[in-house]
Amino acid sequence: MKSYDKLVRDNIPDMIKKSGKQCDIDIIKDDRILEYLYVKLHEEIFELVDNENLDEIADVLEVVFSIGKKYGFTEDEMLIKRNEKRSQSGGFENHILLKNVY
């Protein structure tokens, strides 16, 4: 038996069962979900750094969208805000490292 205490995607328990294994789950209460989402975000960011692939980017985005939803924002609102900020301040394509401001 392998033990976990981590947030997983909604279909993971069914996928485990379909593979012939059993699993125990709990449902996280709303007052603690952000704690688990932030832990999951850290996990997914480290996986992205290690694996550098589109699947890991999608996992990071899924967690970010879930966090935003808990703060009351839709995915569309988050993407609109991203585009507004990008239009106003730019993105990160030019790799600018700010060193000092005088």
Task: Locate the domains of the chain by residue range.
Answer: 27-89
* Percentage of the chain lying above the pLDDT 70 cut: 100
The pLDDT, as a whole number, for residue 55 is 97
Q: How many residues does the chain have?
A: 102
Mean pLDDT of 9-33: 96
What is the pLDDT, as a whole number, of residue 57?
A: 98
Amino acid at residue number 82: R
- Mean pLDDT taken over the chain: 96
pLDDT of residue 13: 96
- Please state the pTM of the whole predicted model: 0.89
Query: What is residue 99's predicted lDDT score, i.e. its pLDDT?
Result: 96
State phi, psi for 5 to the nearest 5 degrees: -145, 65
Cα radius of gyration (the chain): 18
